[in-house]
Chain A
Amino acid sequence: QVQLVESGGGVVQPGRSLRLSCAASGFAFSSYAVHWVRQAPGKGLEWVTVISYDGTKKDYADSVKGRFTISRDNSKNTLYLQMNSLRTEDTAIYYCAREAVGGYDALPYKWFDPWGQGTLVTVSS
Chain B
Amino acid sequence: AQSVTQLGSHVSVSEGALVLLRCNYSSSVPPYLFWYVQYPNQGLQLLLKYTSAATLVKGINGFEAEFKKSETSFHLTKPSAHMSDAAEYFCAVSGSYSSASKIIFGSGTRLSIRP
- Do A and B come from the same complex? no
- A residues touching B (Cβ–Cβ < 8 Å)? none
